[in-house]
Chains A and B, each alone.
Chain A
Amino acid sequence: SQKIEQNSEALNIQEGKTATLTCNYTNYSPAYLQWYRQDPGRGPVFLLLIRENEKEKRKERLKVTFDTTLKQSLFHITASQPADSATYLCARAGRDDKIIFGKGTRLHILP
């Protein structure tokens, strides 16, 4: 079956440092991976998409990588700020056009 796993339930990072979140997938490589941000009591919000043939994608302080050998995506937030504290969800394209979400990693940026 297609699985997507975010290994860390929670991560504490000092303000100003780079936060790195990990997402691993099983089975075949998806056509793309996505990252979403979710604040408490709110719906997830799309951040970035990276395709199978792309190694890296950037958006402002965010960077996503896609390693088909390791079956892994890394999500980086550089110069982290307390406002970056949230839960971050990784998602993969599945079969039948459905998106499969990981359970998320709660990121805490400590002032």
Chain B
Amino acid sequence: DADVTQTPRNRITKTGKRIMLECSQTKGHDRMYWYRQDPGLGLRLIYYSFDVKDINKGEISDGYSVSRQAQAKFSLSLESAIPNQTALYFCATSDPQGRAGGDTQYFGPGTRLTVL
């Protein structure tokens, strides 16, 4: 089974709709992240959480909100989706004390979101 899972994998929605993307992990990591990836812009950090009670804005948090329901679950919401939020969204986890060293990121498979 995958260590980091995301649902849904693909979603098409309309402008103004509320959307929730969910992320679950079995790695036992405290740190979780949401990124979006756009062609030519690379990975950009939306929100991150270093433990259940810690939520922080990233580089591009406007228009998004998050909820850390448990150590293993981190959800991203688009309160009122707009077309320029069409992108590939990735959840990631990390453990700064892990064997890989640094704060190595472990990514989920991604959610492709299209806002019409």
Give residues in A with beta carbon < 8 Å to B. Answer: 31-32, 34, 36, 41-46, 49, 51, 89, 91, 93, 97-99, 101-104
Residue from B42, B45, B90, B106 with most neighbouring chain A CB atoms (10 Å): B42
Q: A84 vs B92: C-alpha distance in the bound complex, in angstroms? A: 23
- Chain A residue numbers with a CB within 8 Å of B41 are 103
Interface 9-mer from B13-21, B63-71, B74-82, B94-102: B94-102
Q: A98, B48: Cβ atoms under 8 Å?
A: yes
Other 15 A-B pairs with CB < 8 A, given A31-B102, A51-B101: A41-B112, A43-B4, A43-B108, A43-B110, A44-B107, A46-B105, A49-B101, A49-B102, A49-B104, A89-B42, A93-B102, A93-B103, A98-B58, A99-B105, A103-B40
Which of A31, A32, A44, A104 interacts with B105 by CB under 8 Å?
A44
Is B60 an interface residue when CB atoms closer than 8 A count as contact?
no
22 pairs of residues in contact across A and B, judged by CB atoms under 8 Å: A31-B102, A32-B101, A34-B102, A41-B112, A42-B109, A43-B108, A44-B43, A44-B90, A45-B107, A46-B100, A46-B104, A49-B100, A49-B101, A49-B102, A89-B43, A91-B105, A97-B96, A98-B45, A99-B102, A102-B42, A103-B40, A103-B42
**Chain B 34-70 per-residue mask, 1 if CB under 8 angstroms from chain A, else 0:** 0000001111010010100000001000000000000
Q: A98 vs B96: C-alpha distance in the bound complex, in angstroms? A: 11
Q: A99, B103: Cβ atoms under 8 Å?
A: yes
